[in-house]
C-alpha cells in the first residue's frame, strides 16, 4: 500500500487493528532500534514485525539506517498524534464510569485538567481506594483546604485527619451546617480536641457543590461521591497548574460568602 493509497481513515484503521503497530512507531521516534529489539519489545513474531516495518517504509513513516530503523519526520508527526490520542482515550476510559460524579463544564472544570491526574476509582475489590489515596495525600501536606458537602471523604479517616491537625497541619474546611452539626454531635470529644489545637478553621455554607475540592501543598483533588449510598466513587488528584487555579478560584468563591464559625458553636 503506497502513501497515496486509500483514505486517512484507512491508515488510522491500519494502526489500530493490531496492538503492536502504534507502540512500534512511537518507539522508533524515541531512538533507532533494530528489528530484533522491536520483536522482543512487542512480543509479536519476527515475521510480523518484519511485515510491519515493511509497511511503515512503504508509507515513508520510517527509514532504515544500517541494521536499525528510525522514524522519519512524517512518522514522527503521525506517532505524536497517535500517542496523544491513546493518552486521551486512556484518560476517558478512567473517567467514563465516574464522570457523572465530577464537576460539570459549567463549573469551568475540563477533561484536560485530568491529563496527568491520578484517578482512583472505588472498585468492587477495592471500595476504599479513593479514601486510601486521600490518606496518602493528607500525610504529605502541611496545609489543607476543603470545600464541599461530602462527609463520606473525611469521616472514614477522621482519626488520622484529626491527628494530623492536632500535630500541626493547618486545615480550613467549608461545610454545610448539617455536616458540621453531625461531626460535633457524633464525635464531641474528638471535635473539641481538634478545634482546641487552633489549627482547624470551619466555615458554614448552605449551598455547596455536590463534589468536594481538596487543596494540598502540591496537589489538588476532586472527590466525587454518591449521595444515595454516601460512598466516595472517585478521587482525581493532580499537580496541574490549570487545575490548581480552578480549585483555588472555587474555594475563594465559597469562602468569600461564608462567615467564620465561632468556636463555641462547634463544641459544647
CATH number of the CATH domain containing 216: 3.30.870.10
> Are 140 and 35 found together in one domain?
no
**What does the pLDDT read at residue 155?**
82
In a domain, 126, yes or no: yes
**What does the pLDDT read at residue 1?**
47
**What does the pLDDT read at residue 267?**
46
**What does the pLDDT read at residue 146?**
94
Range of the domain at 229: 99-265
- Total domains in the chain come to 2
Q: Report the DSSP beta bridge partners of residue 214.
A: 146, 221
In a domain, 2, yes or no: no
Alpha carbon distance 34, 108 (integer Å): 47
Cβ neighbours of residue 1 closer than 8 Å, sequence gap 6 or more: 14, 55, 58, 59
User: Among 90, 125, 156, which residue terminates a domain?
Assistant: 90
> Are 116 and 233 found together in one domain?
yes
Mean pLDDT split into 10-residue runs, the chain, 268 residues: 72 92 96 94 93 96 95 96 91 85 88 87 89 94 90 83 94 87 84 91 88 96 80 91 96 84 46
Please name the residue ranges forming H helices in 18-72: 21-30, 35-42, 46-58
> Are 56 and 163 found together in one domain?
no
For 170-194, the pLDDT digits (tens) are 999 998 888 878 888 888 888 889 9
**What does the pLDDT read at residue 262?**
45
> Are 130 and 81 found together in one domain?
no
> Are 106 and 159 found together in one domain?
yes
Element (H, E) at 78: helix 73-95
What pTM does this model have? 0.76
In a domain, 220, yes or no: yes
User: Among 90, 107, 130, which residue terminates a domain?
Assistant: 90
> Are 51 and 130 found together in one domain?
no
**What does the pLDDT read at residue 260?**
55
**What does the pLDDT read at residue 131?**
93
> Are 142 and 66 found together in one domain?
no
Selection from 166, 112, 115 nearest residue 138 by Cα: 166
User: Among 61, 90, 119, which residue terminates a domain?
Assistant: 90
**What does the pLDDT read at residue 135?**
94
Three-class DSSP category at 220 = strand
> Are 148 and 41 found together in one domain?
no
Amino acid at each position: 500500500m503506497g502513501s497515496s493509497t486509500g483514505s486517512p481513515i484507512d491508515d488510522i484503521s491500519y494502526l489500530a487493528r493490531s496492538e503492536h503497530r502504534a507502540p512500534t512507531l512511537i518507539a522508533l521516534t524515541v531512538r533507532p532500534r533494530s528489528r530484533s529489539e522491536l520483536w522482543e519489545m512487542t512480543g509479536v513474531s519476527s515475521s510480523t514485525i518484519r511485515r510491519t516495518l515493511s509497511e511503515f517504509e512503504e508509507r515513508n513513516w520510517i527509514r532504515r539506517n544500517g541494521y536499525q530503523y528510525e522514524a522519519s519526520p512524517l512518522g514522527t508527526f503521525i506517532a505524536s498524534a497517535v500517542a496523544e490520542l491513546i493518552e486521551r482515550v486512556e484518560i476517558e476510559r478512567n473517567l467514563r464510569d465516574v464522570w457523572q460524579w465530577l464537576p460539570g463544564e459549567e463549573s469551568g472544570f475540563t477533561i484536560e485538567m485530568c491529563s496527568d491526574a491520578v484517578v482512583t476509582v472505588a472498585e468492587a475489590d477495592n471500595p476504599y481506594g479513593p479514601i486510601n489515596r486521600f490518606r496518602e495525600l493528607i500525610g504529605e501536606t502541611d496545609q489543607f483546604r476543603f470545600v464541599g458537602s461530602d462527609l463520606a471523604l473525611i469521616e472514614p479517616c477522621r482519626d488520622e485527619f484529626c491527628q494530623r491537625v492536632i500535630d500541626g497541619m493547618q486545615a480550613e474546611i467549608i461545610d454545610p451546617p448539617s455536616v458540621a452539626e453531625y461531626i460535633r454531635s457524633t464525635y464531641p470529644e474528638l471535635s473539641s480536641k481538634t478545634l482546641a489545637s487552633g489549627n482547624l478553621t470551619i466555615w458554614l455554607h448552605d449551598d455547596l457543590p455536590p463534589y468536594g475540592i481538596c487543596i494540598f501543598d502540591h496537589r489538588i483533588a476532586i472527590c466525587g461521591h454518591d449521595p444515595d449510598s454516601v460512598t466516595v466513587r472517585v478521587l482525581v488528584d493532580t499537580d496541574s497548574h490549570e487545575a490548581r487555579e480552578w480549585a483555588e478560584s472555587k474555594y475563594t468563591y465559597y469562602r468569600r460568602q461564608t462567615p467564620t464559625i465561632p468556636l463555641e458553636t462547634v463544641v459544647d
